[in-house]
């Protein structure tokens, strides 16, 4: 359901049995558990038409959960005149091709020069406010050193609709990645939960401890002996998901010094990962739209070296 400032969720099998705050985090990945706990305390969440303020309530299949979001806080992130590659724009949505090295939204140590600063300069106050003052318009994210396509919501109705598509796993998100080692199969699926690494709080890992289900589908596109070019399609969208899943499969990304070998090779300055294809139903018309982004120069240069060798 796509009403402004309201989320409505019908609980399916994969969410049934979770505490309500945990279920909402799994369904709507852009907000934290503490965020939904505060909404419970303020009686902003209904289950089957009745106000629910119990954090211990375990959702059941078929439950209709209605979340009323608080009024947005005034924005205090500064617009900056930073050039951005606009792939598509209308009154509801903006699709941008983010360069490698750009942080999506401000955080400690990255208060300026982010994609949010750039889109604020371009769009002014015409952005969704659901994710608060730091992430206006941001429906999903990609890592600083991952390039490629992102969708930006220009109003709250559009944001709710796009977030619901993410929760339903109906958005197309296809990446290109160069990984270490050869595959014995041509395609496959990694269905392993991801959470914070118990041994290193700065990393993510495949773990059963405080984790969320994560599903990545992959397909071999080109083989180079010690390296492979793959397409990776996200069913879920966990932090560092492709990087973590490929490392778990013994195929870490070339250039990924966090989850792979601690050395630079073939001129790759960071992980060879590009968000190439993005598809979704337009939040106003319902029409399916799909966009394709060319590989960056660095990525193409590494591929050229592999093909030559």
Question: Looking at the annotation, which residues are catalytic?
Answer: 143
Map tokens 């050395």 to a residue: 263
Dihedral pair phi/psi, residue 13, rounded to 5°? -55, -45
State how far Cα 11 lies from the chain centre.
Answer: 21
Q: Taking a C-beta distance cutoff of 8 angstroms, is the pair 212, 238 a contact?
A: yes
Cα 281 to Cα 123, 161, 187, 205, distances in angstroms? 22, 9, 27, 32
Three-state helix/strand/coil letters over 98-152: ECCCCCCCCECCECCCCHHHHHHHHHCCCCCCCCCCCCCCECCCCCCCCEEEEEE
Which tokens go with 90?
A: 């209308």
DSSP annotation of 253 reads: B
Ramachandran category for residue 118: left, alpha or beta (phi over 0 → left; psi -120 to 50 → alpha) = alpha
Buried b (16+ CB within 10 A) or exposed e, 193-204: bbbbbeeeeebb
Buried b (16+ CB within 10 A) or exposed e, 252-286: bbbbbbbbbeeeeebebebbbbbbbbbbbbbbeee
């Amino acid at each position: 359901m796509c009403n402004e400032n309201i989320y409505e969720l019908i609980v399916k099998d994969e969410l049934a049995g979770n505490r309500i705050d945990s279920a909402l985090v799994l369904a709507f990945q852009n907000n934290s558990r503490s965020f939904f706990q505060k909404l419970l305390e303020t009686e902003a969440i209904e289950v089957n038409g009745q106000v629910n303020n119990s954090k211990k309530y375990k959702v059941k299949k078929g439950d209709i959960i209605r979340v009323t979001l608080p009024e947005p806080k005034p924005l205090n992130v500064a617009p900056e005149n930073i050039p951005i590659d606009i792939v598509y724009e209308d009154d509801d949505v903006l699709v941008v091709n983010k360069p490698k090295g750009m942080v999506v939204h401000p955080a400690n140590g990255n208060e300026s020069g982010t994609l949010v600063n750039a889109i604020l300069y371009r769009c002014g106050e015409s952005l969704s406010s659901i994710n608060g003052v730091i992430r206006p318009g941001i429906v999903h994210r990609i890592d600083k050193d991952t390039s490629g396509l992102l969708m930006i919501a220009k109003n709250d109705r559009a944001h709710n609709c796009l977030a619901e598509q993410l929760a339903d796993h109906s958005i197309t998100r296809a990446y290109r990645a160069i990984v270490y080692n050869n595959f014995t199969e041509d395609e496959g699926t990694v269905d392993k939960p991801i959470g914070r690494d118990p041994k290193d709080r700065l990393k993510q890992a495949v773990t059963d401890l405080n984790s969320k289900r994560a599903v990545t589908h992959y397909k071999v596109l080109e083989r180079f002996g010690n390296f492979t070019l793959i397409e990776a399609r996200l069913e879920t969208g966990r932090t560092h998901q492709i990087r973590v899943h490929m490392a778990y499969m013994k195929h870490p990304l070339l250039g990924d010094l966090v989850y792979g070998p601690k050395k630079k090779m073939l001129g790759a300055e960071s992980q060879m990962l590009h968000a190439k294809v993005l598809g979704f139903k337009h939040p106003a018309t319902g029409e399916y739209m799909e966009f394709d982004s060319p590989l960056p120069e660095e990525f193409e240069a590494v591929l050229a070296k592999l093909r030559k060798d």
